[in-house]
Structure formats: C-alpha cells, structure tokens
C-alpha cells in the first residue's frame, strides 16, 4: 500500500480534493492535523508521499502561509527534511507552496549542498499579485524540458490540455536576484511556468512552480488536484472526445509520484535482494 | 506592560500592489485632489514583556519576509507629504491578531497581545485631505480609528468587570403611550399590539418582566425571526386570478379576499400540495430547519439556504457582507445534524456605480456610502469570508437601480451536502447545551431587531454596534470539528445543532428548547473581554458560534475533537426543565425566567389589510427608436447585462474541486453561464445545478415579477442540463416596507405568483426568508424605497454531468433556434428603459405570461437536451433575443447571421429583438437535428432564426453587422474597479 499524508490545519481548505487526487492515482490518503504531527513527528515515517494542501492557513495572517510556516519551522521541519532524505515525494499547491517556501524547503539547498539542521531563511518570495487582487482562472502552462521534478516531467500534454487552474492573491514569484532565477532554471528546478502572455500575477521568469534539487518536492501556485477528471476542464463541453482520452494533466502528476514511489521501492527491494 | 510597535513595508523593487490599489481607489472616489503615490506598510502592536532580542526575532523572522520586505521596530519617518494609519477600534474583531499571537508563542515561547493596522504614506495630499481620503476609501469610522501619525498607544484598552443589577420593567402599569415609547427607546421594535400582549401576559403571571425577558421576547418576535408579516392573516382588495379556489383563501360578498397566513396559503401550500402529489419522498425537510433539504442520491441529501444582510451592509459593506455569507454558511452547518457547505451564491442590488455625481442634482444622499464603495466592499467581504472558508461561490448576479442607494441588498446563499441519516435532529431532555466556536462580545447586539427597522441617516450613530467583522478561520475550525463529531465512529455525538444568528443565544437556545425548556448559566460563556452584562451575553450576535444539544456521555469525546482543532467549547446548561420554562442564571442569581409558551405561542395574531391597484404612470412623449447598430452595443455594456467578470474572478469558485459548469464558460473563459453545476459526491457522475432568477424589469406588477423570476431560475437550470422534474427553489422577499396597504398588496401578489409558478413547474419551495423594511429616509425627510425585489434561487439534479451543455456556440455549421413565443410588448425590458421610456411602467403592457405553457416549454427543452439534440442552450432574458444570441456567438467565437422576422409570436421586429418575454430559450442545433427536435417540441412555438458561420461577425439580414470581438469588449468593459 502506498500511503499519502495530507497535512491539514486551521484554514487549510483544499485537503479533501488533494486526498481524492492521491486516491485516484492509486495511493491511500490519510489526513492528519498539524497539531498532532507536531506532537508526534514520527508519524511521518509511516508515509510514502506527503501533500501540503492549499487554503488560507491561519487566515494568511501577516502574509500567506506565514503563521503555518512558523509552526512547521518550530516543530516539523526536521521530520519533513528526513522524509525527503529517504525519498518521499511531496506536493505543495498554492498555500502549501507559500508555506514550503517560507519553511525553506523550496527551492531548498543546491545540489550537493548539505541542508542544515535549522530551517534556513526563505530565499524566494511569493508576494501579492501585481493586481493586488485574488484571481481565480485557468492559465496556460509549460513544463521546462530540463526540469528534474518527478511530478511534472514527462507529462503528456497537448495544446488544449496544458492548462491549470489558479486561485490566489499572493502568488507573484520574486527571486532574490536575476542570477538566482537563472541558476534555478539551469539546474532544472523550475517545475512549471506560465505560458508567455498568460502570467496571472506578475511572477518573475513566468515561474509557476519550483522543485528542490532532489526533484521530489514540488511547490506550485496552480492546483493540479483540481484537474483530475475531464469535466473539470474549463471548456470540456467544447472538446472532442479524443482530446479527453487518458488522464488529465493534474492526475498525471499524482500518478507520476505514485509510480516513482513504486519504482524506488522496487529498486530498494532489488538492491536488498542483491 | 509595554506596547511595542513594528512596521513592515515592501522593499524598493519588490513592488507595492496594496499601495497601488489604494491609489486606484482614490481615483474611483473622484477626490478633489488625487494623491501622487501611496506607499503601504503593515503595522503590528505587541503588548507584553518582550526583551529586545525576542522583539528582533519576531520582527525579522516572523513579520518580515527577507526577500521582499524591510522591517523597523518603532515607526519609520514620514516618507511623503502626509501619512495615515488605519487600526480597528477596540472591541472590533482583528482576525489576524490571534494568529500572530499563536506564532509568537511558537517562536519565543511567551504570550503577548497583538493588534494589527495599516499605514499609508500619501504623496501629494496634505494631512486633512489625506484623512478625508482615508475615511472615504480605506477606513470606516464605525470600526476603524484613523490617525495621521504613527499610532503607538501606551496600553491596549481593556474591558472592565462591572456590577450589574437585574432590572425589572414596570410594564403592568404602562399605558399605550408608555408602551410605544419603551419599544422604541429600548430598540425592541415591537408593535403596540405586541407590547400589550406582553403586558397582559405578565399581568396574568402577577409580576413585571425583567429586562432580559423583554429582550428575549423582542428577539424571538422580531420580523427577522418569525416573519410575522408573511404569516399574518390578510384581507386583500384587488385583482387576483381564481382567488376563490386558492388554498386558505376565501372571497366574501364584497369581493374582498381573506387569506389565512399568507405564507402557508401560497408558498408553503404549493410545496405541501406537490409533496402530496409525488414529491413527498424527495422533499426531506421543508421550511422547518435552517435550510430546506431534498434528496440527492440513495445515501446523500442536499440543502440550500439564502439569507440577506442588507442593513449591516449599508453601514459597513465589508463586514456586513462577510458576516452575511458567514451566517448563511452557519445555517447550513446547523441544518439537520449538520451539512457540509459545498457552494455559495451571491446576488447584490445596488445603485448604479455612476448614478450619483457630486455638485449636480444627482448628489449622493447624506448618510449613504458611494455605491462603488458599497459594491466593491461587499464583493471583498464575500470574497474574503467565502474563500477562507473554502466554499466556492459559483452563482450570482448584480442588479443596479438607484433606489437601492441607501439600502443595498446583499443576498448570500449556501448549499450543503449531508448523509441521509443526518437530516433530522431533536434535543433530548437532559442534553447539555454546548456552545462551540467564537467568543461572545458586545458585537452585533440588536441585529435581529435592527433589521426589522428602517434605515435613516442617523442609524449610523445609533446602531454602529450592530456592525461587525467576522473571523472565517474560527468558523472553518468549528466546521471541521462539527463534521468530525457528526461522523464520529458512525454515530453523531450530538442530538441537535443550530447556529447562533440573529438574536444570538436567545434565539438559538430559545428555539432548540421550545418544547423542552432550557436552564442556562450565562456566566459560563467565554467572553472576548470583561464587562458584558447578562443581557448582552444573551442577545449578542457575535459571529462563528454554534449551539449543540449533547448527551452528557458524549461531552468528553466532543471536547477531544474540539481540542484537536483548537476550537473552544463551553457548557451553558441543560435542555429540559419542569414546566417547559426558559431559566437564565448568572452566577448564583436568577436573571430571567419565562414560559416557552409565551415566547413561541404568545405572539398575537395580526390581520393586515392589503390592496392592489396597478400603477398608472403618466404618459411620456414617444421617443424615436435607436438603430440596432446603436442599441446592441449599448445594451451589452448596460450594467444590468454586462459581464460580472471582475467579481466572479475574485471568488475561488473552484475550491473543493467539484466544478463541472463554472460561472464563466466559452472560448475566452468569459461567457455568461446560465447556471453552475457541481459534483456534491466525489466519484459519482450525478451533479447539482445551482441558479437564480431575478426579474426586476417586471416589478411594476409583483405577481408577474414572481412568475418571471421563477421562470428565469428554471430556464437557467434547464439550459445546463438539469432535470426539471427535480428542481427545488427558495424565495427571498426584500420589500420596501409593509406599512401601507399597497406595499402589502404587492407582497400578496408576489406570493400568489410564487404559488402559481411552483404548481405549474412542479418545483417546490423548500425554504425562504424575507426582509421587509428596506427603505432609507434622508436628512431632508425624503424616503427612498427600494423596488419590491423577489429573488428565486434554485437547485436541481443532473443525472449524468457528462451530458451537461454550456451556452457558448460550438460549431459554425449549426442552426440557432428560438423556443417559446415572443410577445409584442417590450415593457419591462432593459431596451425600453434605455431607449423607449414611454413604453415602460404600465403593468397592463407587460409581455403575456402563460405559466402552464412556460412549464411545458421547459420540460420539452430539457428532453431535447437530454436526448443530445442541443449543442448549446441559453436563456433569453435581460436584453432580449439579440443580446442572448450575441452572447452565444462571442462566447463561442463563432460568426452568426440572424433574421429576427422569423421569430414566432410577433411581427414587430423591435419586439422580436428586444422584448424580454419570459419562457424563451435559444438552442444551437446541428444540421439535420431540426426534425427530431421539432417532434419533441410538439406545439410549443419555435423557429430557426439564425445560422452560425465561419465569420467573426454577428450579422442581421438587413446587413447591420458587428465584430464579435467588439461586442465582447463592450460587454466586458463596464464593471470594474
């Protein structure tokens, strides 16, 4: 059984659809409150996948994800780091992304860099949309060819399907410097970009999602968990049946991660056997 | 203890969208002098013993983002000509503060108290102009303090515990004058008859009432809580088709119609007749609970409630609308044994955004907020509450009419889903009275009675305490805990639940304990601050509170669940008393005691006189009709027709991942969907359609307004693929006062229209609400009455969502059909209002409506859609046929040529194009499907009047043509801020 942990807390509100997406992809989701995880971080050891859902954790007081990030930094960062070290894929859409960035999990240490024991300060920001307004719409997206993200690479996309829904007020990606953005791009740590001309919030480099240097941790402003059946496509009533064959891109991401768990488990079994 | 101040602002280069947004709001406010630029900062005030190192950590690690922000402890020097700061007043909920306190505890391990505010450095305005700008655009003096220098108090204001006395009111000796004075001065808003009934009841009891008892009666007997006008006996004089054969109606020898209980004889009668005639198994709970409930599938039921929050929204639109949606969500949480909220709706009525111009004869009346501010803040309130709760707002509209200037309407709806075995709950004697969620404060006191009064220009001062700010995260946590308790190991931990809405604990406990009695210990309620009297605790309408009736053995388990979610639980006492009494205690003192019978059965019956005579408008001189080339683009840009995109996209209408048909559809993602469709149960293909109908064009005869609104709601649902045999509706009457016979006559006619429509469409009403005092009296004494406004909201079942269709044209080889006859009358249309004012206002000239035929058309169109014969469908309403056809074409980006002369029912081309005759649909049909479609439509008038093509134009046979993109841009450009 592939077990997926969905972390909930006050104000998280996309936990159920995230759990449903894991389930559709063949994993068994369990939702657990952050309060309980902080009391007993070893709970994480039971899981093969982790989801940090969207929502308005603690009302997004101060800034989106800030309060939840402080709680995770103080009580769960070590356990999350350990999970990544043992190869657990994590997905953090929207508020989850905002939290992951402020916990320092994303973009995370560079390749070969040792993560410290203490959570590092954030090195990129997801600031107020340039319109200063919450926006809900579907936007065109692209997956950079060199991405190392195990969730988004090798998606089967076509023009009508390569879109994702966004719904946020604070999603404008701001790097520390142009050099940092360049480095993230060249090292394959940009997992999703907005299609040029379809950038909804003023993000630098059209960045919609990042992964860490292991490729296991994906944070993104769009909501792939809201694109797991074709009747969620915003113009599905216009699509020919043939366009709606196979899995929608959102579900493909979850299947990628579940497949990754299976194959790495298989590899582990093989190496144990040898 | 010290108060520390921390300021955080965006660094240069990181952008300052909030500053820009403030500047934008200044531009819209038409200030005399505009600011050149505005820089915004966040301000945090921390009260507590914090050492410098800790303060630095809080500032740098918690409050400031190192990549985009800079922080100072204290206050930055002025960086522009002037500055203003906006802070919530003491006692006003500051939702962010509690979260910051939690994070500080996690960071440095000590407790501090926090308040938050915002600073704006304003370039180009002097201090006085900046203050004026702030109070018009950034702050509301009812809830905010505005400062022109950095605000840094020495200490936070505290509430003080105070001695209270149990006051007795010498009611038994009062004469009529004194009774009326008491009702008004104590804000009881009870009529003389009601005051006399109370006096007589206490005479019988041989004592005088205590203050808290009078308050309890005022809350329970308020219009808001018992709908006493709609439930009154009526004597109606005027036209009424088939009056003698209506249930509960009797016509006397003088032709007067006597109606027992208007609501029961019309709206509810239709439901009960339909339930006796086949819908009894489907309607699971009607009119008795916080929301109406119908069956969804074998295992689930769905419920729906729509509320209004008009008066608070007039004074403080952001808080008023937010607590409106918050309250409606709580209604759904408090239905049966709790439903999970899965969708929200919002319908707003305001004055036109450009309807009032300073220094002209169209000045905004004193005491009114500008309609642009009202609308943008109402939207922001619904957005911030709904989005944070994670409930998608999937359907709504806005109607503009300048008579809403002093009294805007804010309708908030909520749909929930629940297991079928959680549909009913009743308290059991001995159950604990458990309150969950938010704390009780002085906020919202007298909301129930205030909503039953009319607004005047001085209400701002008198009723500011009825205005409040909500905390959606408290409500979300409470929801999470309640659903977990509902589904705890297959048994529900409580036997009944309701929300604390209008009237607070007094209504919630009073209603739950109606048949059992209740013994309440008021001092156990957790308070936001010290100093509340027992009366204040009892009637406070503080938000985010639910009351549960919990068997003693389950309280500990419920407490565990609440602890996990950080939800506060308190035990207020016990349901069930000897003699069915309501007993109120505070400490050792009994502060009130009264029989439940007086509370729930003591309200005197009223007989109201109603009459109706159609308005006869003075004839206006005829005006030449405009060309179609002129009329169509300006209709599309008319605010009552134009796209509401700016509002829709601020709502997270897709959270929960249930979307099938969204509010916006089509190639560009901006086409106006007729209805929303969602999946209440994940993994199933069975869907739920949600729509509304509002037919304000026809308000000159509320009977026809009701039928047209009902019809529009049905058509909207049918157009996406809902089964018309499984539609349930809600009524929401917002009336401009019912103090005279004519207004009441209008109400009677609207209710009769509801009955006729519900019977014809076989769509039962399952819940409803009314708000009957929507008028505003200016300081000159002029009363501005809203037009009588009836909203019909509907939900309906879609058997398989994969067969749903949308309104955007799909294919260039299609034909465009109109189904349903068009009348030659244009009265009630937006076109007539704009271009032919001499053809408005006379009810005798409204388009004919045959409700039986309209219902038959709906059923036939639905069967054509179910048979897969229709590529797209759109209801033909505001703007008429040409507007509807244009919307289909530009939403699908497919060219269209039409011939209005082939429209059945009229030979008048102008009427064919612009009449808003109800009962009509536009259907896009593939070539060759016309014949099977005609078979299904039978004798329902229909005709092909258009052909889609590969062009990018809308063209009429007379060669008038429009670029689709131009039409779309005209339609998108009106409503924005």
Q: Do A62 and B10 touch (CB under 8 A)?
A: no
- Integer Cα distance of B651 and B380 in angstroms: 9
**pLDDT at residue B530 greater than cutoff 90:** no
B42·A62 Cβ contact <8 A: yes
Q: What is the mean pLDDT of residues B374-387?
A: 94
- pLDDT band per the 50, 70, 90 thresholds, residue A158: confident
pLDDT at A274: 40
Looking at CA atoms only, how far is residue A261 from chain B in angstroms?
24
Q: How far apart, in whole angstroms, are the C-alpha atoms of residue A28 and residue B733?
A: 48
Q: Which of B100, B390, B682 is the closest to A62 by Cβ? A: B100
Cβ pair A125:B565 closer than 8 A? no
Cβ atoms within 10 A of the Cβ of B420, count?
15
Mean pLDDT of B126-141: 91
Distance CA B687, CA B690 (A): 10
CB contact under 8 A, A14 and B390: yes
> Do B477 and A10 count as a contact with CB atoms less than 8 A apart?
yes
pLDDT at residue B453, rounded to an integer: 62
Catalytic position from the list A14, A17, A77, A94: A94
SS (H, E, C) B388-427: HHCCCEEEEEEEECHHHCCCCEEEEEEEEEEEHHHCCCCC
pLDDT at A272: 47
* Residue among A17, A149, A225, A233 flagged as catalytic: A225
| Candidate list B4, B87, B144, B224, residue with the active-site label | B224
Task: Please state at what angle helix B628-637 crosses helix B881-892, rounded to 10 degrees.
Answer: 70
Residues from chain A that touch B651, judged by Cβ atoms under 8 A, are 134, 136
Q: Per-residue confidence at A156, pLDDT binned at 50, 70, 90? A: confident
Is there a contact between A125 and B68 if contact means CB atoms under 8 Å apart?
yes
Domain count, chain A: 1
Spatial separation of the C-alpha atoms in residues B573 and B537, rounded to whole Å: 14
Does residue A117 carry a pLDDT above 90?
no
With an 8 Å Cβ cutoff, are A167 and B652 in contact?
Answer: yes
> Between the CA atoms of B295, B298, B300 and B306, what dihedral angle is there, to the nearest 10 degrees?
-10
Model pLDDT, residue B448: 54
Average pLDDT over residues A18-33: 98
| B509 compared with B779, residue with greater pLDDT | B509
Q: Do A134 and B650 touch (CB under 8 A)?
A: yes
Q: Is the pLDDT of residue B969 over 90?
A: yes
Q: In this predicted model, what pLDDT tens digit does every residue of B634-690 receive, in sequence order? A: 999 999 999 999 999 999 999 999 999 999 999 999 999 999 999 999 999 999 999
Count of A-B CB contacts under 8 Å: 188
Higher-confidence position of B849 and B450? B849
The answer to whether B432 and B574 have CB atoms below 8 angstroms apart is yes
**pLDDT band with cut points at 50, 70 and 90 for residue B457:** low
| Per-residue pLDDT at B813 | 98
Decide if B874 is catalytic: no
Please say whether the beta carbons of B337 and B402 come within 8 A: no
pLDDT tops 90 at residue B90 = no
Q: What is the pLDDT of residues B35-83, one digit of tens each?
A: 999 999 999 999 999 999 999 999 999 999 999 999 999 999 998 889 9
Confidence of residue B737 (pLDDT cuts 50, 70, 90): confident
Helix (H, G, I), strand (E, B) or coil at B748: helix
Say what the pLDDT of residue B454 is. Answer: 62
Predicted confidence band at B732 (pLDDT cuts at 50, 70, 90)?
Answer: very high
Nearest to B473 among A11, A174, A237 (CB): A11
Give the per-residue pLDDT at B807.
Answer: 98
Q: Which of B197-201, B221-225, B779-783 has the lowest mean pLDDT?
A: B221-225
Average pLDDT score over chain A: 94
Yes or no, beta carbons of B107 and A165 under 8 Å apart: no
Residue pLDDT, tens place only, B113-122: 999 999 999 9
Whether A94 shows a pLDDT value over 70: the answer reads yes
**Annotation says A225 is catalytic:** yes
Domain CATH number, residue A134: 3.40.50.880
Q: Which of A60, A74, A133 sits opposite B107 (nearest CB)?
A: A74
The per-residue pLDDT for B141 is: 84
pLDDT above 80 for B445: no
Chain A residues within 8 A of B665 when measuring between CB atoms: 234-235, 237
Q: Which among A6, A23, A102, A127 is the top mutation candidate for probing chain B, defined by the most B β-carbons within 10 Å of its own β-carbon?
A: A127
Of the two residues B254 and B448, the one the predictor is more confident about is B254
Give CA angle at A116 (A114, A117), nearest 5°.
Answer: 135
pTM over cut 0.90: yes
Out of B387, B648, B805, closest to residue A237 by CB: B805
Look at A237 and B810 and tell me if their CB atoms are within 8 Å.
Answer: yes
Mean pLDDT of A55-68: 97
The whole-angstrom distance between A20's CA and the closest CA on chain B is 8
Give the residue-averaged pLDDT of B368-393: 94
Comparing CB atoms, the residue among A36, A132, A136 nearest residue B564 is A36
- Mean pLDDT check: name the lowest of B415-424, B445-454, B743-752: B445-454
Choose the closest CB to A67 out of B61, B99, B801. Answer: B99
Q: B215-240, pLDDT tens digit by residue?
A: 999 989 988 888 888 999 999 999 99
| pLDDT at res. B224 | 80
How would residue B739 be classed by pLDDT, with cut points 50, 70 and 90?
Answer: confident
Q: Which of B18, B802, B872 lies nearest to residue A132, judging by beta carbons?
A: B18
The pLDDT assigned to B966 comes to 97
A8 to B480: CB separation less than 8 angstroms, yes or no: yes
Tell if the CB–CB gap between B654 and A128 is shorter than 8 Å: no
ipTM greater than cut 0.90: yes
pLDDT band at A270 (very low <50, low <70, confident <90, very high): low
Choice between B523 and A268, residue whose per-residue pLDDT is larger: B523
Predicted local distance difference test score (pLDDT) of residue A244 = 83
Q: Percent of chain B at pLDDT above 90?
A: 84
Q: Show residues of chain A in contact with B476, CB under 8 Å.
A: 10-11, 13
Q: Which of B60, B70, B379, B387 to mutate to test the interface with A (most CBs of A within 10 A)?
A: B387
- Nearest-Cα residue of chain B relative to residue A129: B17
> What is the average pLDDT value for chain B, to the nearest integer?
94
Does the pLDDT at position A268 exceed 80? no
User: Chain B residue with minimal CA distance to A123?
Assistant: B67
List pLDDT tens digits, range B12-22: 888 999 999 99
Q: In angstroms, what separates the C-alpha of B305 from chain A's closest C-alpha?
A: 22
Contact status, residue B301 vs residue B293, Cβ threshold 8 Å: yes
Q: Compute the distance between CA of residue A248 and CA of residue A232 in angstroms, rounded to an integer.
A: 9
Mean per-residue pLDDT for B124-149? Answer: 91
The answer to whether A61 contacts B99, with C-beta atoms less than 8 Å apart, is: yes
- Closest B-chain CA to A224: B657
How much is the pLDDT for B455?
62
A128/B66 Cβ within 8 A? no
Phi, psi (5° rounding) for residue B143? Answer: -125, -10
Q: Which domain holds residue A48?
A: 3-273
Cis peptide before A107 (omega within 30 of 0): yes
Interface mutation target, options A6, A9, A11, A34, chain B, most CBs of B under 10 Å:
A11
Q: Which of B103, B438, B476 to mutate to test the interface with A (most CBs of A within 10 A)?
A: B103
Examine the pLDDT at B513 and tell me if it is beyond 70: yes
A149 catalytically annotated: no
- Chain A residue numbers with beta carbons less than 8 Å from the beta carbon of B659 are 226, 232
* pLDDT beyond 80 at B444: no
Average pLDDT score over residue span B872-883: 97
Active-site position among A14, A17, A170, A223: A223
Of A33, A70, A133, the CB nearest to B103: A70
Contact A231 B99 (CB under 8 A): no
**Can you tell me the mean pLDDT for B515-523?**
97
Least Cα separation, residue A226 to chain B (angstroms) = 5
> What mean pLDDT is predicted for residues B586-603?
94
Mean pLDDT of B282-297: 97
**Chain A residues within 8 A of B103 when measuring between CB atoms:** 58, 61-62, 66-67, 70-71
């Amino acid at each position: 059984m592939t077990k997926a942990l969905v972390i909930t807390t006050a104000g998280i509100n996309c936990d159920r659809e995230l759990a449903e997406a894991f389930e559709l992809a063949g994993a068994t989701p369990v939702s657990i409150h952050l309060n309980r995880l902080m009391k007993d971080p070893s709970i994480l050891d039971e899981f093969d996948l982790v989801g940090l859902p969207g929502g308005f954790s603690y009302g997004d007081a101060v800034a989106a994800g800030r309060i939840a990030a402080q709680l995770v930094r103080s009580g769960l960062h070590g356990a999350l780091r350990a999970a990544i070290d043992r190869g657990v894929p994590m997905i953090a859409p929207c508020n989850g992304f905002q939290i992951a960035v402020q916990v320092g999990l994303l973009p995370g240490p560079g390749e070969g860099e040792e993560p410290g024991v203490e959570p590092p300060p954030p090195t990129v920001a997801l600031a107020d949309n340039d319109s200063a307004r919450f926006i809900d719409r579907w936007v065109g997206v692209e997956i950079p060819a060199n991405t190392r993200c195990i969730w988004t690479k090798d998606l089967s996309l076509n023009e009508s399907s390569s879109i994702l829904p966004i719904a946020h007020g604070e999603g404008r990606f701001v790097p520390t410097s142009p050099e940092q953005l360049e480095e993230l791009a060249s090292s394959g740590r940009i997992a999703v970009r907005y299609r040029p001309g379809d950038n909804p919030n003023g993000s630098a480099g059209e960045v919609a999602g990042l992964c860490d240097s292991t490729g296991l941790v994906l944070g993104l402003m769009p909501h792939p968990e809201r694109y797991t059946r074709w009747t969620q496509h915003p113009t599905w009533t216009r699509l020919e049946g043939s366009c709606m064959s196979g899995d929608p891109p959102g579900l493909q991401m979850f299947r990628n991660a579940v497949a990754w768990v299976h194959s790495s488990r298989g590899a582990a079994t093989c190496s144990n056997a040898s | 203890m010290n108060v520390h101040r921390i300021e955080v602002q965006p660094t240069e280069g990181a952008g300052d969208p909030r500053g820009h947004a403030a500047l934008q709001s200044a531009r819209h406010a038409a200030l005399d002098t505009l600011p050149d630029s505005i820089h915004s900062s966040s301000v945090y005030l921390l009260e507590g013993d914090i050492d410098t190192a800790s303060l630095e950590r809080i500032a740098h690690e918690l409050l400031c983002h190192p990549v985009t922000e800079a922080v100072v402890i204290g206050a930055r020097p002025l960086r522009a000509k002037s500055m203003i700061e906006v802070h919530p007043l003491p006692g006003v909920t500051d939702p962010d503060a509690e979260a910051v306190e939690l994070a500080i505890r996690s960071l440095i391990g000590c407790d501090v108290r926090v308040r938050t505010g915002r600073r704006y450095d304003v370039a180009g305005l002097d201090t006085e102009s900046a203050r004026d700008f702030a109070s018009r655009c950034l702050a509301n003096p009812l809830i905010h303090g505005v400062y022109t220098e950095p605000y840094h108090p020495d200490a936070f204001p505290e509430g003080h515990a105070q001695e209270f006395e149990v006051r007795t009111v010498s009611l038994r000796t009062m004469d009529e004058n004194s009774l009326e004075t008491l009702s008004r001065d104590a804000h009881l808003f009870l009529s003389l008859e009601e005051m006399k009934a109370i006096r007589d009841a206490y005479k019988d009891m041989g004592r005088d009432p205590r203050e808290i008892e009078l308050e309890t009666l005022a809350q329970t007997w308020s219009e808001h809580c018992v709908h006493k006008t709609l439930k009154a006996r009526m004597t109606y004089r005027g036209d009424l088709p088939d009056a003698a054969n209506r249930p509960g109606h009797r016509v006397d020898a003088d032709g007067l119609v006597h109606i027992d209980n208007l609501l029961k004889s019309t709206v509810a009668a239709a439901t009960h007749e339909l339930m006796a005639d086949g819908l009894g198994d489907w309607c699971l709970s009607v009119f008795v609970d916080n929301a109406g409930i119908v069956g969804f599938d074998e295992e689930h039921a769905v419920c729906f409630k729509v509320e209004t929050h008009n008066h608070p929204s007039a004074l403080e639109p952001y808080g008023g609308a937010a607590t409106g949606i918050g309250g409606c969500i709580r209604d759904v949480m408090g239905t049966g044994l709790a439903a999970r909220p899965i969708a929200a709706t919002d319908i707003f009525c305001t004055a036109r955004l450009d309807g009032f111009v300073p220094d002209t004869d169209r000045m905004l009346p004193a005491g009114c907020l500008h309609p642009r501010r009202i609308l943008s803040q109402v939207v922001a309130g619904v957005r911030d509450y709904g989005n944070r709760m994670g409930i998608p707002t999937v359907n709504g509209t806005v109607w503009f009419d300048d008579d809403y200037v002093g009294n805007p309407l804010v309708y908030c709806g909520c749909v929930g889903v629940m297991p079928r075995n959680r549909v009913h709950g009743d308290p059991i004697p001995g159950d604990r009275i458990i309150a969950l969620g938010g704390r009780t404060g002085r906020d919202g006191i007298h909301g129930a009675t205030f909503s039953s009064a009319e607004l005047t220009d001085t209400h701002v001062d008198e009723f500011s305490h009825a205005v409040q700010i909500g905390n959606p995260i408290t409500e979300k946590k409470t929801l999470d805990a309640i659903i977990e308790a509902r589904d705890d190991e297959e048994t529900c931990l409580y036997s009944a639940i309701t929300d604390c809405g209008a009237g607070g604990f007094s209504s919630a406990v009073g209603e739950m304990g109606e048949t059992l009695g209740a013994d309440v210990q008021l001092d156990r309620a957790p308070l936001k601050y010290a100093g509340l009297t027992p009366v204040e605790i009892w009637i406070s309408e503080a938000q985010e509170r639910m009351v549960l009736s919990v068997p003693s053995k389950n309280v500990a388990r419920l407490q565990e669940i609440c602890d996990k979610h950080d939800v506060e639980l308190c035990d207020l006492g016990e349901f069930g008393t000897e003699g069915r009494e309501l007993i109120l205690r505070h400490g050792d003192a009994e502060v009130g005691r009264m029989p439940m019978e007086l509370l729930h059965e003591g309200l005197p019956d009223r007989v109201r006189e109603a009459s109706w005579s159609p308005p006869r408008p003075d004839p206006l001189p005829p005006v030449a009709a405009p060309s179609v080339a002129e009329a169509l683009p300006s209709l599309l840009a008319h605010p009552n027709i134009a796209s509401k995109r700016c509002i829709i996209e601020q709502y997270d209408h897709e959270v929960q991942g249930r979307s099938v048909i969204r509010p916006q559809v089509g190639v560009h993602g901006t086409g106006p969907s007729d209805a929303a469709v969602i999946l209440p149960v994940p993994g199933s293909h069975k869907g739920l359609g949600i729509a509304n109908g509002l037919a304000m064009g026809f308000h000159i005869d509320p009977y026809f307004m009701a039928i047209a609104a009902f019809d529009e709601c049905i058509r909207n649902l049918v157009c996406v693929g809902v089964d018309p045999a499984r539609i349930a509706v809600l009524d929401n009457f917002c009336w401009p006062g019912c103090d005279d016979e004519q207004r009441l006559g209008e109400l009677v006619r609207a209710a009769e229209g509801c009955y006729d429509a519900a019977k014809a469409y076989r769509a039962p009403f399952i819940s409803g609400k009314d708000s009957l005092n929507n008028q505003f009296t200016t300081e000159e004494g002029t009363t501005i009455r809203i037009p009588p406004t009836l909203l019909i909201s509907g939900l309906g079942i879609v058997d398989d969502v994969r067969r749903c269709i949308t309104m955007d044209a799909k294919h260039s080889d299609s034909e465009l059909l109109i189904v349903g006859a068009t009348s030659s009358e244009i009265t009630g249309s937006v076109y007539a209002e704009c271009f032919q004012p001499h053809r408005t206002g006379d009810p005798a000239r409204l388009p004919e409506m045959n409700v039986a035929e309209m219902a038959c058309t709906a059923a036939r169109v639905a069967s054509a859609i179910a048979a897969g014969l229709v590529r797209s469908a759109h209801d033909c309403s505001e703007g008429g046929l040409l507007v509807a056809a244009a919307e289909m074409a530009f939403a699908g980006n497919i060219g269209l040529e039409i011939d209005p002369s082939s429209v059945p029912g009229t030979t008048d081309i102008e009427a064919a194009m612009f009449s808003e005759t109800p009962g009509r649909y536009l259907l896009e049909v593939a070539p060759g499907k016309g014949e099977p479609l005609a078979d299904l439509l039978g004798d329902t008038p229909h005709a092909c009047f258009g052909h889609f093509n590969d062009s990018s134009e809308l063209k009429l046979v007379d060669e008038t043509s429009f670029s689709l993109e131009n039409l779309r841009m005209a339609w998108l450009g009106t409503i924005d801020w």
